[in-house]
Amino acid sequence: MTDSALNSNRPERFDDEFDRLLQTISKLSENGDSETAWPAAAWEAIRQAGVLGWNVPLEFGGADLNPVEMTFGYIRLAEACLT
């Protein structure tokens, strides 16, 4: 799937803040091939952005994303981490 195809089907919940997260993750993963551990700063950025709560219901403090929204987000995160 191309980047333009993903963006044309972009769920409303994924805004400029999500784009900033992708840029941060991309920068933090630049040394991923030479390091053996995932950067702690990347995990912190993911946590602060609420990614860990995407599949958690609203009543428990999560984002309650549907499967299409989660898949979109996970694909974009994976693309940002490619080295």
pLDDT tens, residue by residue, 6-18:
455 667 778 889 9
Does residue 10 lie in a domain region?
no
**pTM score > 0.75 for this model?**
no
Task: Name the residue among 63, 20, 64 with its Cα closest to residue 45.
Answer: 20
Domains contained in the chain, number: 1
Percent residues over pLDDT 70 in the chain = 83
Does residue 54 lie in a domain region?
yes
**21 class by beta-carbon count within 10 Å (0-12 exposed, 13-18 middle, 19+ buried):** buried
Q: Which domain holds residue 61?
A: 17-29+38-81
Task: Name the residue among 43, 45, 50 with its Cα closest to residue 14.
Answer: 50
Nearest-angstrom CA–CA distance, 7 and 76: 10
For residue 69, pLDDT beyond 50: yes
Does residue 8 lie in a domain region?
no
Does residue 9 lie in a domain region?
no
Does residue 63 lie in a domain region?
yes
Asked whether the beta carbons of 26 and 79 are under 8 A apart, the reply is no
For residue 47, pLDDT beyond 60: yes
Does residue 1 lie in a domain region?
no
